[in-house]
Every structure is written in C-alpha cells, then in structure tokens.
Amino acid sequence: GENVEQHPSTLSVQEGDSAVIKCTYSDSASNYFPWYKQELGKGPQLIIDIRSNVGEKKDQRIAVTLNKTAKHFSLHITETQPEDSAVYFCAASSGPVPGRRALTFGSGTRLQVQP
C-alpha cells in the first residue's frame, strides 16, 4: 500500500518568514495530493490540493509543488502569520478499488509562528 513520509515534525518560524513542509510518497499510481490544516480540538480542514497532472498550484499565501518523478510534494506558506500556527498533514490518494479514494496521511508537522 501507499506510504507517506512527512518532514519536519515540528517547525518554528518568525512571523513574516516562509515555511516549507515536505512529503514523499511510495505509490507511483497516486494521483491526488491534498494538504490539511488541523487546529487544536478540531478536525482536519483542506487548505490546498494538487493533482498529478499539475506541477504547482497557488492560493494566495500558500502553494504546493509536485515532483512526480521523485515522488515528493511540498507545501509553501509565505508571509506567515500567528494564525497559521497549527498541525499540517499531507496526504496521497490510494485507491485501487473504484470509489474508495481513501487518503494515506503523513505523520503531521506542528507549525508554530512566533509573533
């Protein structure tokens, strides 16, 4: 099955700096790569996703890049703000069974933005 590794496990940056979180996946058939933000006591919330036919996607201060050859993808947050502090999860879709589309998650990155 799919295996997703995520680094770093914790990341501390100063407000206004950029933050980068990296993930690698094992299944070359995976074709959907979402990033989720989880605030304390809440469920994960999708912040951006990318499909395997796209190399980069941006949404305001966040961007995701995908390298299919190397099987890795990254989340970039620019101009970080204290409200960006949360746990971020990458994931890859693994679903040889039609309709399953379950997600395999990375272990998470705790991002702390220091004011």
Per CB under 8 A, residues contacting other proteins are: 1, 4, 6, 9, 32, 34, 36, 41-46, 49, 51, 89, 93, 97, 99-108
Measured from the CB atom, the residue of 70 and 97 that comes closer to other proteins is 97
Q: How far is the CB of 107 from other proteins (least distance, A)?
A: 5
Nearer to other proteins, 75 or 114 (CB): 75
Q: Which residue has the tokens 């993808």?
A: 73
Residues 6+ apart with CB under 8 A from 62: 35, 47, 48, 75, 76, 77, 78
Write down the least CB distance from residue 15 to other proteins, Å: 27
97 versus 115: smaller Cβ distance to other proteins:
97
